[in-house]
Amino acid sequence: MTKIAIVQEPPVFLNREETIHRAVQLVKDAATQGAELVVFSETYIPGYPAWIWRLKPGGDWGLSEQLHSRLLNNAVQIGSDQLRPLLDVAKEMQVTVVCGIDERDEDTSRSTIYNSVLTISPEGTVQNCHRKLMPTNPERMVWGFGDASGLKVVDTPVGRVGSLVCWENYMPLARYALFAQGIDIYIAPTYDSGD
């Protein structure tokens, strides 16, 4: 039977390098205990911008601007070597890793951030990057809209894996797109702290 590790540890908030370092250790710990699939939460790297649900859009402008600047500067550029330690540990430990990230667009605007979830193979490669299709309510002040190009199920040693992010899981057609591809393990990362 496949052993799956669901990581319930906080990131080093708004610090990409330290969060990746923590994720590497958590993957090693999980794999050492027999996990073949390690799953992190929504936007684990470098953290979920929870301030959008609490700060006032007009009244807290200065603080919101500072926080957004830190988020943008710590968001992950997939084509860079920023994720190399996480890719390397997946290969070293021979595990599949599913990890939520704040992804910084590196091809066009270079300032758009996406709420993305990566599937990393045991060979240390990114098999899929799914960008959240429709950010929820105030999330639209932070993240761009996904284009569905990552709405895929990928083959892994533990089965066919696919993912939707948080409230996307309430979208019937998005779920159907994964079901129609013969998904075995459906992953629904969220930042929420509820049951």
Query: CATH no. for residue 107?
Result: 3.60.110.10
Residue 155 lies in a domain: no
Residue 179 lies in a domain: no
pLDDT tens, position by position, 90-139: 999 999 999 999 999 988 888 899 999 999 999 999 999 999 999 998 89
- Which two tokens mark 129? 């990057």
Q: DSSP per residue over 151-180, as a string?
A: ---EEETTEEEEE--GGGGG-HHHHHHHHT
pLDDT tens, position by position, 49-95: 998 888 877 778 788 889 999 999 999 999 999 999 999 999 999 99
Residue 188 lies in a domain: no
Residue 184 lies in a domain: no
Name the active-site residue from 103, 132, 139, 168. 132
Phi, psi (deg, nearest 5) at residue 13: -50, 125
- 56: annotated active-site residue: no
- 106: annotated active-site residue: no
- 42: annotated active-site residue: yes
Task: Say whether pLDDT at 39 is over 70.
Answer: yes
Name the active-site residue from 42, 103, 139, 168. 42
Bridge-partner residues for 159, per DSSP?
A: 156
Structurally, how many domains does the chain consist of?
A: 1
Residue 87 lies in a domain: yes
- Which two tokens mark 21? 């370092």
**Domain containing 55: what range?**
4-150
Q: What is the pLDDT of residue 194?
A: 66
Residue 51 lies in a domain: yes
Q: What is the pLDDT of residue 107?
A: 82
Name the active-site residue from 36, 139, 166, 168. 166
Residue 172 lies in a domain: no
Q: How far is 11 from 23, CA to CA, in rounded Å?
A: 8
Q: How far is 133 from 147, CA to CA, in rounded Å?
A: 6
Q: How far is 61 from 184, CA to CA, in rounded Å?
A: 44
* Banded pLDDT at 16 (limits 50, 70, 90): very high
**pTM of the predicted model, to two decimals?**
0.95
Residue 19 lies in a domain: yes
Q: What is the pLDDT of residue 195?
A: 64
pLDDT tens, position by position, 174-192: 999 999 999 999 999 998 7
